[in-house]
Amino acid sequence: MRVTVIGAGTMGSGIAEVFALNNHEVLLSDVSNDILNNGRKKIEASLEKFKEKGRIKSVEDVLEKISMNTDINAQESDLYIEAVLERIDVKRDVLSRIRSDAIIATNTSSISITYLSKFVRNPEKFIGMHFFNPPPIMSLIEIVRGNSTSDETTKKIVEISRSLGKTPVEVNDFPGFVSNRVLMAMLREAIIAYEENVASAEGIDTVMKLGMNHPMGPLELSDFIGLDVVYDIMNVLYNDTGSERFKPPITLRNLVYAGKLGRKTGEGFYKYK
């Protein structure tokens, strides 16, 4: 199958890697060659780890499956996956520029699939395919049907997800779907606990790791997701529901304004080397 992945950031590069690992021909697209090269480096580093673990024989053979281009229509594909910033204006621009009648999936974390379907040529062929970070490791894909998504499109995406070795779960088009509705409420409460000095960042994370058996604490996880991404998702949920339980905390906003976006910039709630 030929697949176009638009956005070569944290998620797009990982999604491109997943398809390449499964022998599909991938076009990875982003706004500049520098960003694409960074995406390639991330994929290469991840593939090196797979090689060390003996899960693949050759990094080059997998990398060869991925071509890169700033033109999102450079390859005629069977599936397009949008993984650009969590902003409606950016997604609208990208989705409306795809010149194809193939299925288009969005990796959005929180924006309504029904709303985004207004920007594509065939809303019945538009669906949410929500991967988790990092896509090559995480086995869940949340499949989100918009109001116009056809049964055929859903069936196809469920089949593709299984063929990638993932577990698809079908959910309906509600703000944050299942994953971010539950997760964002928890991350927000952890950030407010930090603001109020209930405990240090390490203290909050250790309580949640050892007490609730979470593999990562909520502040550590926020840094891992990217604080700008967390902030954008909370804003979408807050606007869509009007509920205080998603209102972005000021500490989060200020970290984002300061460019401290978590692991990807070397600092967020924690500092990274």
Nearest Cα residue to 117 out of 157, 79, 75, 173:
173
Residues that bind ligand NAI (CB under 6 A): 6-12, 29-31, 35, 83-86, 90, 93-94, 107-109, 130-133, 225-226, 229, 233
Residue 166 assigned as binding residue: no
Q: Is 109 a catalytic residue?
A: yes
Q: φ and ψ at 140, to 5 degrees?
A: -85, 140
Residue 264 assigned as binding residue: yes
Which pair of structure tokens corresponds to residue 24?
């599909």
Cβ proximity to ligand NAI: between 7 and 123 the closer is 7
Catalytic residue among 29, 109, 112, 222: 109
Q: Is 73 a catalytic residue?
A: no
User: What is the torsional sign of CA 149, 151, 156, 158?
Assistant: positive
Cβ proximity to ligand NAI: between 169 and 199 the closer is 169
Q: Which residue is nearest to ligand NAI (CB)?
A: 9
Catalytic residue among 100, 142, 220, 222: 142
Residue 10 assigned as binding residue: yes
Q: Least distance in Å: CB of 224 to ligand NAI?
A: 7
Catalytic residue among 29, 112, 180, 222: 180
**Cα 206 from Cα 227, distance rounded (Å):** 20
Amino acid at 222: S
Catalytic residue among 100, 112, 130, 220: 130
Q: Least distance in Å: CB of 142 to ligand NAI?
A: 9
Cβ proximity to ligand NAI: between 8 and 26 the closer is 8
Cβ proximity to ligand NAI: between 22 and 69 the closer is 69
46 burial (CB, 10 Å; 0-12 / 13-18 / 19+) is buried
Reduced to 3 states (helix: H, G, I; strand: E, B; else coil), residue 15 is: helix
Q: Least distance in Å: CB of 115 to ligand NAI?
A: 13
Residue 8 assigned as binding residue: yes
Q: Is 130 a catalytic residue?
A: yes
Q: Is 214 a catalytic residue?
A: no
Cβ proximity to ligand NAI: between 17 and 30 the closer is 30
Strand order in the sheet with 103-106: 66-68, 25-29, 2-6, 79-82, 103-106, 126-130, 140-145, 167-172
DSSP 8-class letter at 136:
T
Residue 213 assigned as binding residue: no
Cβ-contact 113, 106 below 8 angstroms: yes
With a CB cutoff of 8 Å and minimum separation 6, the contacts of 145 are 113, 127, 128, 154, 170, 171, 172, 173
Which pair of structure tokens corresponds to residue 198?
């209930």
Q: Least distance in Å: CB of 261 to ligand NAI?
A: 9
Q: Annotated active-site positions, please?
A: 109, 130, 142, 180
Annotated binding site for NAD(+): 7-12, 30, 86, 91, 109, 133, 264
Annotated binding site: 7-12, 30, 86, 91, 109, 133, 264
